Chain A
Amino acid sequence: MSLIVFVGVYAIGNPIDTLISPQADQMERAKAIAALGLDKPLTEQYLSFLSGIARGDLGDSFAYGTPALKLIFERLPATLELALAATVIGIIFGVPLGLWAGLKPDGVAGRSIMVGSILGFSLPTFWVGLMLIMVFSVMLGWLPSSGRGPTTMLFGVPVSFLSLEGWSYLIMPAINLALFKVALLIRLTRATAREALLQDYVKFARAKGLTNKRVIGVHVLRNIMIPIVTVVGLEFGTVIAFAIVTESVFSWPGMGKLLIDSITMLDRPVIVAYLLVIVSIFIIINLVVDILYSLLDPRVRLVETDK
């Protein structure tokens, strides 16, 4: 994996031309090349890259001059906060609406929710972001149009959600990012709910004389939460990836914006660092989802200690 990434990113494209002003003469070019280590043969570059990873050092950013990994980690909390906020918003709106559509699929509300969900994932995220800025920042002047604003520290990590002002910066990008998620969650919840309602245990619960509230709220919900949580968890990585776009639109100082800038500037160490961090995040997410699943589904839990 690392070989593929390395070869791909390093061997193609020449960052020198971007970073060094065209007026520089041969001497300065040679010096810069040497300083960045680009004059050594490719294999040597790869080896020093690997040893760097072992030490936790992915090289310095070409553009900023600081260690690439450090740059990524500085921006990580911002991205994570945005992704988490979007996920939470997605669940708050997506699950109840999907449940409603699943319970009353033929009603006016149910059908409009479904059509609405198609609209939701047809909307181009970046354009919606622009429109949000236009309406809420330019025309109404309620919310700031870009940036993150002042942050408060939580366990040594800067976060925005603890302050109202922080929220004014966070809310638009979070809703923007959540839009796609809400649409997908509506469809997922509706599908699983409809399937669950056909099960015998629902009929039996009704036969016991339980209130509809309990049948839906406890019996059905507990069952559909399993696939929903699994999907939400697995999709979290996608949310982080989509955050790239949202961060660019709203100039939110996260990893995504950094990636785009780095690609444009061919700042390879940063690109590589980003990829490695993202891959690790994906692996961690998969692990967490596995654990969550075993917590939620009792049939999976006691596999080792079966009677």
Chain B
Amino acid sequence: MTTPLLEVTGLQTHFHTKAGVVRAVQDVSFSLRKGEILGLVGESGSGKSMTGYSLMGLIDPPGRIVGGSMKLAGQELRGLSAEAMRKLRGNRMAMVFQDPMMTLNPVLRVDTQMIEAITAHAPVNRDAALKRAREALVKVGIPAPDERLRSYPYQFSGGMRQRVAIAIALLNQPDLIIADEPTTALDVTIQGQILYEMQRLASETGAALIWITHDLSVVAGLADRICVMYAGRIVEQGTTEDVLTRPSHPYTQGLLDSVPSRNQRGTKLKQIPGMTPSLLELPPGCPFRERCSRASSECGVNPEPRMVDDTLQDEPHTVRCHHPLRHEVLA
């Protein structure tokens, strides 16, 4: 039993705004092993991006991590000083953002932005850093890297920019990479390429990867394990195969059903009725209650995660539901 690289227990991130408290991340727990790829799936407002930011320590006021623990290779991240956190960011944990247009600073050259990522963590001289940057660009498949280094971000296409962002994330050989919807803003064809690249790089460097997305099909071929999030909570968690072929939470089933390719031609597209609740006015109990066809009075109490015991593997498959789809559930 290898110790997990990342262990998150009961993470809670709240935003104290004038309009009220937004409970963006509620009691989120999961773990990640070295080299593993985790898919964090959910719609907008489910708290998936906020979970990523919480891990990186990038939550800005009025947001705050108010509870739980996050351990990276045994070291507790919560409560670390700002300087200690800074040393980890971009070094042992890296993040790739959604919109490559704005993540690179438009007025600074690419080499400047890559070199500073290196020199922020180690006293490397400029030439050595430049060399490493160049190698990184080659690794992500950018042609003519020398020319690219001297250019400005606006001269790149969206896909290229995202590759640069990925290259920057890999510069210091992090143990953990968090990718927040990195392909959402790109063309579908480029999406496939980036997906492939990231998978290859992750396995090459042995880094663990958390891939945050709203698109189940993206993580289907990529991830080892999947966490499904809804209204700030993880409602189902397990291996990709378990969650996608034997979903236990009604929401997961709803997500799967709404993928167009799963439908028969000519039949109506299925959708989950209702809308995501506002995180400001969450009703007590299960947040999916309003939209669930299986809801009952029991659902007025928020369900705790329970094991789904339906297959013979040692990977836990948990679900938060009073009426899960799989019948064999350990109480």
Query: Residues on A close to B: CB < 8 A?
Result: 199-201, 203-211, 214, 218-219, 222-223, 226, 296-299, 302, 307
> Measured between C-beta atoms, what is the minimum distance from A301 to chain B in Å?
9
The residue of chain B having its C-beta at the shortest distance from the C-beta of A297 within the complex is: B107
Task: Tell whether, in the assembled complex, residue A307 and residue B155 are in contact, meaning their CB atoms are under 8 Å apart.
Answer: yes
* Chain B interface residues (CB < 8 Å from chain A): 56, 58, 86-91, 94-95, 97, 99, 102-108, 116-117, 120-121, 152, 154-155, 165, 168
Q: Are A208 and B116 within 8 A (Cβ)?
A: yes
A210-B120 in contact (CB<8A): yes
A207-B95, A214-B116 known; A200-B86 Cβ under 8 A: no
> How far is it, in angstroms, between the C-alpha of A223 and the C-alpha of B91 when the chains are bound?
26
Contact between chains at B107 and A223 (CB < 8 Å): yes
Q: Which residue of A lies closest to B103 (CB)?
A: A204
Per the bound structure, the CA–CA distance linking A101 and B150 in Å amounts to 34
- Tell me if B86 and A222 are in contact (CB < 8 A): no
A207 to B120, CA, bound (A): 11
Residue pair B90, A207 in contact (C-beta under 8 Å) = yes
Question: Of A204, A214, A302, which contacts B120 at CB under 8 A?
Answer: A214
Most interface-central of A204, A218, A223 (chain B CB within 10 A): A204
Contact partner, B103, options A200, A211, A226, Cβ 8 Å: A200
Q: CB within 8 A of A299: which of B86, B87, B90, B154? A: B154
For residue A201, which residue of chain B has the nearest CB?
B105
Having A201-B103, A209-B87, one finds 10 other A-B pairs with CB under 8 Å, namely A201-B102, A201-B105, A203-B58, A203-B103, A204-B97, A205-B105, A209-B91, A214-B116, A214-B120, A218-B108
The interface residues of chain A lying within 8 Å CB-to-CB of B88 are 209
A210 proximity list for chain B (CB < 8 A): 86, 90, 116-117, 120
SS of A interface (majority)? helix
Determine whether the beta carbon of B120 is less than 8 Å from that of A211: yes
Enumerate 5 A-B pairs (CB-CB under 8 Å) in ascending A order.
A201-B106, A208-B90, A208-B94, A209-B86, A299-B107
Q: Are A226 and B89 in contact (CB under 8 A)?
A: no
- List, in ascending order, chain B residues with CB within 8 A of A205's CB: 105
Tell me whether B86 and A211 are in contact (CB under 8 A): yes
Asked if A204 contacts B165 (CB within 8 A), the reply is yes
A residues near B89, Cβ cutoff 8 Å = 206-209
| Most A C-beta atoms less than 10 A away, residue of B58, B94, B103 | B103
Contacts of B116 in A (CB 8 A): 208, 210, 214, 218
- What distance in Å separates the Cβ of A257 from its nearest Cβ neighbour in chain B? 42
Q: Is the CB of B56 within 8 A of A207?
A: yes
> CA A218 – CA B311 in complex, angstroms?
55
- From residue B133, how far is it (CB to closest CB) to chain A in Å? 13
Residues of A within 8 A of B105 (CB): 201, 204-205, 219, 222-223
Which chain B residues border A223 with CB–CB below 8 Å?
105-107
Check if B99 sits within 8 Å of A200, measured CB to CB.
yes
B99 proximity list for chain A (CB < 8 A): 200
Q: Do A298 and B106 have beta carbons less than 8 Å apart?
A: yes
Q: How far is the CA of A259 from the CA of B165 in the complex (A)?
A: 58
State A209–B120 Cα separation when bound (angstroms): 7
Chain A residues lying within 8 Å of B165, measured Cβ to Cβ, are 204
Residues from chain B with Cβ under 8 Å of A204 in the complex: 95, 97, 103-105, 165
Residue among A209, A214, A222, A307 with max Cβ neighbours from chain B (10 Å): A209
Q: Is A299 in contact with B108, judged by CB distance below 8 angstroms? A: no
Is A298 touching B107 in the complex (CB atoms < 8 A)? yes
The reply to whether B154 and A298 contact each other, CB–CB distance below 8 Å, is: yes
Given A208-B168, A219-B105, A223-B105, decide whether A298 and B152 contact each other with a Cβ distance below 8 A: yes
Closest to B107 in A: A222
